Amino acid sequence: MTATREPSVHGSDALRLMGADIEVPLVSGERRRYVNLDYAASAPALQRVRDAVGDLLDWYSSVHRGAGFKSRASTAAYEGARESIRRFVNARPDDAVIITRNTTDSINLLAGTLPEGTHVVAFAGEHHANLLPWQRCGVRYIAVPETPAEALERLEATLRELPACPDPHLVAVTGASNVTGDIWPIAEMGRIAHDNGARLLVDAAQLAPHAPIDMQRDGIDFLAFSGHKLYAPYGAGALIGERDWLSAGDPFLRGGGAVKVVTIDETVWADLPDRQEAGSPNVVGAVALGVACDTLAEAGMDAIAAEEADLVAYARERLGEVDGFEHYRVWPSDHPRVGLLTFNLGAMPYDLLAAVLSAEHGIGIRHGCFCAHPLMMRLLRVDDAEARRLIDEARAGSHERLPGAARMSLGLGSTRAEVDALADALRAIAADGPQWTYAVNPATDQYEPDPDPRPLPSLPMRLVEHPHAHGESA
């Protein structure tokens, strides 16, 4: 077995997370400390972020246009967040840092402001957030490459095939896959893009929380990421990048704050970043994101990445020992990846597996297609005829469950003990099957404990149970 150490940077006080010791009920009536292996979907808040938000709220007020002293303080905090984000990814001093809702919002914003006639090149294995916005533009999708070298070759070949015209070109690629965890060769892609007259957008939703990013060194022209995956779940994300494209046309959203002057016939739009931040900004979210960036930078993203690489290698080894564990990957197993593994366990339905892990073991993972249907179809060997059938069924209004898998994902505070807990649970499930009764809920087409005696926690807010969406997850 690989020699591994228990994470130390991860366990430091500065990186303490909210809710780390929460106990959850099991269907048996016992309570158990929650094992959170679902960071890739959304990560818990850093305590420091929560504390900073608490302090800010005393000073919270409108930003930018208020003359009141609290407005000055809030505006300084909002603008400070922009600076923290810029430093975290080593953006160029003149790059625009636009506060958005999340990665999806950031990429849609860029797609909505591309210069007329831009040719976009993207890979078919992307998260839907970096796949679907381009369908409105002229886009070429490159089939999922088998190796990083093939990704680079195909990118270069595709860029060379683009019509020789003065129209702008954009390469849109993920920093790290939310399905395989593979870290993409961003610096090489930046070089190829630039050599061929294209710009590079990196979807860093999965990369930013887990590995250092250097926009200047790696030639990243645009970068998008989400606060809720970066330990700051307060509803803000960021789009960072070159100003010319982002300020050339009309703004993506039109409204207050994005203008210099308006008459009934004419509007003069504001300069960046205000031009792309119409409406009242999410000050709390931006500040939370800025504090998360500063906190992670202070702890050292290299150290965080090294500990996670160690832990995911340990997880691959431990989980690989379980009978029936099938790990889905595309690139060679020694290729660097962020801390996540996508898998199935024998013939067990993936949603049943997730339900059993939660109900009987207190372990939270993700299951479904991870908003990356084309990549999942490739990994699960769904052929074209079956994909066609699924499309036809969906169009006809059927709620048939899509083929899918389970995904465990790690982050700050994750430990070998948690990986061991998952391995032990999977081993028990593989050997003895579920120890409770489960039924498919017709409203969601997903397995759930039946009955489910687990009470929701007592919280000072209204709680309405919501059936999770059909086979869909981040």
- Active-site residue list: 371
Helix or strand run (H / E) with residue 246: helix 243-248
Closer to ligand PLP by Cβ: residue 228 or 316: 228
3-state secondary structure (DSSP) of residue 434 = coil
What are the two backbone dihedrals, phi and then psi, of residue 325, each rounded to the nearest 5 degrees? -75, 120
Least Å from the CB of residue 428 to ligand PLP: 29
Least Å from the CB of residue 176 to ligand PLP: 7
Question: Hey, which residues between 145 and 174 contact ligand PLP (CB under 6 A)?
Answer: 174
Q: What is the DSSP letter of 332?
A: -
Q: 205, 272, 355, 376: which one contacts ligand PLP (CB under 6 A)?
A: 205
Question: Hey, which residues between 76 and 135 contact ligand PLP (CB under 6 A)?
Answer: 102-104, 127, 129-130
Closer to ligand PLP by Cβ: residue 183 or 357: 183
Least Å from the CB of residue 203 to ligand PLP: 5
- The residue to which tokens 């246009």 are assigned: 65
Closer to ligand PLP by Cβ: residue 186 or 205: 205
Q: Are strands 169-174 and 198-203 parallel, antiparallel or unpaired?
A: parallel
The answer to whether 226 contacts ligand PLP (rule: CB under 6 A) is: yes
Dihedral sign of CA atoms 129, 418, 468, 292 in order: negative
The answer to whether 341 contacts ligand PLP (rule: CB under 6 A) is: no
Nearest to 185 by CA among 170, 200, 198, 175: 175
**What distance in Å separates the CA atoms of residue 203 and residue 103, rounded to the nearest whole number?**
7
**What distance in Å separates the CA atoms of residue 384 and residue 221, rounded to the nearest whole number?**
35
Total residues at interface with ligand PLP (CB under 6 A): 14
The answer to whether 276 contacts ligand PLP (rule: CB under 6 A) is: no
Least Å from the CB of residue 407 to ligand PLP: 10
Dihedral sign of CA atoms 291, 295, 301, 307 in order: negative
Least Å from the CB of residue 210 to ligand PLP: 11
**What distance in Å separates the CA atoms of residue 95 and residue 241, rounded to the nearest whole number?**
5
Contact characters 42-81, ligand PLP, x per CB under 6 A: ----------------------------------------
Q: What is the DSSP letter of 375?
A: H
3-state secondary structure (DSSP) of residue 222 = strand
Q: 47, 84, 108, 178: which one contacts ligand PLP (CB under 6 A)?
A: 178
Closer to ligand PLP by Cβ: residue 289 or 426: 289
Closer to ligand PLP by Cβ: residue 75 or 104: 104
- The residue to which tokens 């930046």 are assigned: 190
Q: Are 253 and 139 in contact (CB under 8 A)?
A: no
Residues that bind ligand PLP (CB under 6 A): 102-104, 127, 129-130, 174, 178, 203, 205-206, 226, 228, 474
